[in-house]
């Protein structure tokens, strides 16, 4: 077994690196998914609140910058 590993050390190293990179990639994907979900939630909240409140009040209520509220109103999707 050890001889096989020695003969194929570069392949073994590559497999280990791929597995590590896959874990990193999956972590990044999860983080991006959370960020996208938060953005969608903010846009939906801004859209709903815009029927009743002006943009500056929405920004204050959601504790987000006014320009983010305005962008959500300009680009609802």
Q: Which of 44-48, 64-68, 73-77 is the least confident region? A: 73-77
Higher pLDDT, residue 26 or 35: 35
SS3 64: coil
Sign of the Cα pseudo-torsion (68, 76, 29, 38, in order): positive
Q: What's the rounded mean pLDDT across residues 60-73? A: 94
Once rounded to an integer, what is the mean pLDDT over residues 54-77?
Answer: 91
59 contacts 68 by C-beta, under 8 angstroms: yes
Distance CA 40, CA 14 (A): 38
Tell me what the pLDDT averaged over the chain comes to. 86
In this predicted structure, what is the pLDDT of residue 11?
A: 81
Structural contact between residues 75 and 67, judged by C-beta atoms closer than 8 angstroms: no
- Predicted pLDDT of residue 70: 94
């Amino acid at each position: 077994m050890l001889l096989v590993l020695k003969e194929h050390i570069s392949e073994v190293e590559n497999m280990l690196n791929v597995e590590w990179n896959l874990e990193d990639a999956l972590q990044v994907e999860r983080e991006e998914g959370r960020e996208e979900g938060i953005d969608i939630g903010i846009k939906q909240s801004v859209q709903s609140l815009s029927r009743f409140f002006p943009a500056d009040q929405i920004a204050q209520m959601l504790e987000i910058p006014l320009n983010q509220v305005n962008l959500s109103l300009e680009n609802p999707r």
